Structure 1
Amino acid sequence: MRSRRMATPPRNSTHVLGLIVRLVLPCAILAGGWFGFTYLSSGVEKAPTPEKERQTLRTKVQKLEVADYPVIVKTHAVVQAHNDVTLASQVAGRVVRVSPSFEVGAYFTEGEVLVEIDPRDFENQLAIAKSELAVAESTLTLAKLVEDRKLRLVKSKAVSQGEVDSATASREQAEANVNLAESRVEQAKLDLQRTKVLAPFDGRVKSKLIGIGQMAGTNNPLGEVFAIDYVEVRLPIAGDQRQFLNLPEFSEDASLEVTLQDAIRDANDTVWRGKIVRTEGVLDADSRDLFAIARIDDPFGRKTNKPPLRVGQPVIASIEGTTLKNVVALPRAAVRQMDRVVLVDPTDQTLRPMTVEALWSDAENVVVPASAIPSNMWLATTTLAYYPEGAKVEIIPEPGAGESIAESTSADAPTKATN
């Protein structure tokens, strides 16, 4: 019986089939993933992006006015005595008396005895000098008598001319001795007077370096005193301030008024008035400031009964300068970046930022020429984070104002800043 063989596929067909399976399976997986992603993502709806809320700019405004502005230059300084000296003894000796006026802070008057040195040694020296003077005067009297007699005898040839010349020389020497003795007497009197140390002027005691029983040497300091008839203040004036002041340069120039206030306590409302009488001849080497010297009479109020202006006290000086004509004073808080201001056009209430150049500035205001500010404009006084050109603004009314500036029309509300 013939056996029937089973049909087997050829080896090449099996190989091709396996290759197709390996290629189709990954593609099917990728296609299924892409389909699933597309199906799932198509069901998610994006939330709509909310529109940004538009913020309205709001600001307070101020009307601008053209006026004249008086310049007040303010500077800081320290009060100093115009005459501060150290008292010294001109003779040596033991201190036997110190005046109650020679205490720290005490007042004294010119010519008052402040310190007295033991005068006994100097009294003895004066007595000796007077005795020497008496001897010299007696010797001179005798020399004159001898000379006169020699002159009479030389005519009768009783003495020689040589004896006459000798008598004349003796008389001249005696005269010189008298002059010397007189000088010694005067010196002894001066030394005796110098045992009393006198006050050189009306003043106060700054320091005391001597006491009763101490030895005072020649030219040794006894203490420091200063005059109280007036004090001086050395005021630094910057270069950009000098153009607004008419400072006196020569002695015949008019003085300039100045007022001083306490720089330590703001609550002290006392005002001292003085005058700038001169300026120093050189500029400060570091700051290039010019120092003006102001004089204040009766600083301790002995005649006026005002509170004392003490030496060493810091003060704020205010000096009246020139007056600027036809200018606009802008509040310093409304000036940004030193030279930027924001104006508001009252016709449509839009912003108009601009740059200005100041003529003068102080702690309160920045002063600009009237020609630098367009007419019929308001000044924005609120600090704005941004201020684009032409942006609309809402005017913040002033509290308690009867009629808001925002409600006034452009025709009659703003005061025109005319050029």
Structure 2
Amino acid sequence: MKMKRAILPVLVIVIAIGLTFVLVKSRKVPKPHEMPHLGPLVEVAELVKTSRQVVVSGTGTVQARYEVSITPQVKGRVSELSPQMVAGGIFRKGELLFAIEDVDYQLAIDLSRSNLAQSEYDLLRNENLAEVARNEWQTLNSGSDVEPNPLVVYEPQLKSARAQRNAMQANVKQAELNLQRTRVFAPFNCYVRSEQLGIGQFLNAGSPVATVAGTDQVEIVVPLPLDELTWLQVPRNGVPQEGSLAKVELQSGGQIFHWQGVITRALGEIDPRNRMARVVVTVAEPLSSDRKGTSLLNELLPGMFVEVHLQGEEISDVIAVPRGAVHDNETVWIVGDENRLHIREVDIVRRERDEVLVQSGLDSGEKIVLTSLTGAAEGMLLRPQMQEAGE
């Protein structure tokens, strides 16, 4: 019994080996089948000839178009100060900034008017004396051709009296002008950048006390490579010309804010540090209250660093090609008949951030290879696949 149990596993193994041998010997050998070579899979896009407007991009810092120092023309103590006369305060043109005590200047007007009255009296008295003296001379020297001595007929005295009267009139105007200057007004729509003023403070004539910057316009100086200027309209001094339009963008907090501007001029020199030209973009009404939202970012404020997209000339009959599809020596790969690769030289008129614009060497309807290949050669067989829409 024990021997049968020992022989049984061996018998099972021998039977399994035998069945395996029979199955291997009885199987049919597969016939070799050669797979056709279809070439590497590549992504292609169909080319379209169109017109494109050149967009030149740059960056710059916003600065005020006008900025002036407020300097009193007369001296005295500050008697009135606008509540808005603090850093960041907004003023409309002609609004009062501050006033200087005017008592002394009122008295100066009274004194100058008194002196004017005295000079007018002196002039009138000398005119009468001159008339009397001339009549007496003519009576005593009737028929004589001799001219009287100027001193006798009061000619020098009349000239002196008229000069004195004119000087007193000027003094009155000067006194009235000084009185007007005790009240200092905003020279244009502006905001206060800095100030050193307080009620009762004594101000000296000619000493700056505040700095204001205009709010009607701001400027952005945009450095650009010299070859980019060929696509833009930049007004020159003395030449009536409209500058290229500009779109100013600020990205902050996941939002993009836009303003419209225009190129108004170029700075008259090339930056020696980077050999770039600098154009000035002007934006009107940067603090306009018509813009939606109450965020401070809705206002284009001096000091902001922004992107500027300048609208240049329009190029007709060009084809936009992705930069990654352009290879050495300004060549591209085209899928031709029978899915064969053709290496084509092209004429590139402009290179942009993501695309190049091709003027000649390509036609509408051709398919360009977007996939990078190792060892690409003329006539190479490809397996093209059209680029999905939206990529």
What amino acid does structure 1 have at the position aligned with 2:111? I
**Structure 1 residue 379 corresponds to structure 2 residue 381:** no
The residue that corresponds to 1:63 in the other structure is 46
Q: Give the counterpart of 2:354 among 361, 364, 371.
A: 364
Counterparts of 1:295 and 1:116, CA distance in 2? 34
Query: Aligned residue for 2:301?
Result: 310
2:245 to 251, 257, 275: 257
The secondary structure found in structure 2 opposite 1:80 is strand
Structure 2 partner of 1:188: 175
Where 1:71 maps in the other structure, the secondary structure is strand
Give 1:395 deviation, angstroms: 4.5
From 105, 128, 132, the counterpart of 1:145: 128
Partner in structure 1 of residue 83 of structure 2:
100
Structure 2 residue 222 is matched with structure 1 residue 216: no
Distance 1:131 1:400 in 2: 91
Give the drift of 1:86: 0.9
Q: How does 1:19-168 map onto structure 2 within 5 Å?
A: 57-157=40-140, 165=152, 167-168=154-155
- Relative distance call for 1:190 and 1:385 in structure 2 (3 A) is same
The 5-angstrom pairing of residues 281-360 of structure 1 reads 281-302=268-289, 307-336=298-327, 339=330, 341-345=332-336, 347-348=338-339, 350-353=340-343, 356-360=346-350
Name the amino acid aligned to 1:228: T
C-alpha contact 2:345 2:361 (8 A) present in aligned 1? no
Quote the Cα distance in structure 2 between the aligned partners of 1:380 and 1:295: 43
Mapped contact 1:154–1:164 kept (Cα < 8 A) = no
Q: Which runs of 5+ in 1 are unaligned?
A: 1-53, 402-419
Note the C-alpha offset of 1:268: 3.1
1:343: Cα distance to partner?
3.9
Shift, 1:368, TM fit: 1.7
SS of 1:200's equivalent in the other structure is coil
Contact 2:325/2:370 (<8 A) preserved: yes
State the one-letter code of the partner of 2:355.
N
Q: Cα distance, 1:236 vs. partner?
A: 3.3
SS of the residue corresponding to residue 221 of structure 1 reads: coil
Q: Does 1:204 align with 2:191?
A: yes
After superposing the two structures, state which structure 1 stretch, 199-208 or 169-178, moved more.
169-178
- Residue 336 of structure 1 and its aligned partner are, at CA, apart by 4.7
Task: Give the partner amino acid of 1:257.
Answer: L
Task: Kindly indicate whether the alpha-carbon contact (under 8 Å) linking 1:82 and 1:232 is maintained by their aligned counterparts in 2.
Answer: yes
- What's the CA shift for 1:120? 1.8
1:90 deviates by 0.8
Alignment match of 2:213 (pick from 196, 205, 226): 226
In the TM superposition, residue 353 of structure 1 has moved relative to its aligned partner by 4.9
Any idea what the Cα deviations from partners look like across 1:230-276, whole Å, max 9, x if unmatched? Answer: 223333342222222343445422343222111x4383333212222
Secondary structure of 2:255's partner?
coil
Q: Which amino acid aligns with 1:329?
A: A
Q: CA deviation at 1:137?
A: 2.1
- Give the secondary structure class of the aligned counterpart of 2:177: helix
Aligned residue for 1:141, secondary structure, equals helix
Rounded Cα–Cα distance in structure 2 between residues aligned with 1:338 and 1:209: 64
SS at match of 2:301: coil
Return the alpha-carbon distance in structure 1 between the equivalents of residues 388 and 242 of structure 2.
48
1:105 maps to a residue whose letter is G
Instruction: Give the stretch that moved more between structures: 274-283 or 81-90.
Output: 274-283
Change (3 A) 1:358 1:271: same
Tell me if the contact between 1:251 and 1:278 (Cα under 8 Å) persists in the aligned partners.
no
2: CA distance, partners of 1:295 / 1:242: 17
Q: Which amino acid letter does the alignment assign opposite residue 309 of structure 1?
A: L
State the alpha-carbon separation in 1 of the partners of residues 109 and 83 from structure 2. Answer: 29
The answer on whether the counterparts of 2:333 and 2:368 sit within 8 Å (CA) in structure 1 is yes
CA positional deviation for 1:301? 0.9
For residues 394 and 374 of structure 1, the distance between their equivalents in structure 2, rounded to whole angstroms, comes to 21
RMSD between aligned residues: 3.3
The Cα offsets for residues 65-112 of structure 1, whole Å up to 9 and x where unpaired, read as 333332222222222222211111111222222212322222212222
